[in-house]
Amino acid sequence: MDTLARLEATIAQRLIASPEASYVAKLHHKGLAKIAQKVGEEATETVIAALSGDETELVGEAADLLFHLMVLLAEKGVPLPE
């Protein structure tokens, strides 16, 4: 959980960064709909990887999904413990 807490703090800092300097800030600048779209894309890719049987791909896609979900939660002001 410590890793997720650190990631949550990093995402919070990057939400207010310049969009040119941070991927998270760029997503924030594009708005909630774009962030939600990315979560959906990553969820689909995770399901495909799970069904393909390739564990390495699944791990990568799951990490992408968790990251984008955490960006979405931060955008909505929902702390991870909730």
- pLDDT in tens for each of the 82 residues of the chain? 699 999 999 999 999 999 999 999 999 999 999 999 999 999 999 999 999 978 999 999 999 999 999 999 999 999 999 9
Distance in angstroms (rounded) separating the CA atoms of residues 74 and 37: 15
Here the tokens at position 55 are 């564990």
Cα Rg, the chain, nearest whole Å: 13
The reported pTM is 0.93
What number of other Cβ atoms are within 10 A of residue 29's Cβ? 14
Q: How far apart are CA 42 and CA 36, in angstroms?
A: 10
d(Cα 48, Cα 27) in Å, to the nearest integer?
A: 24
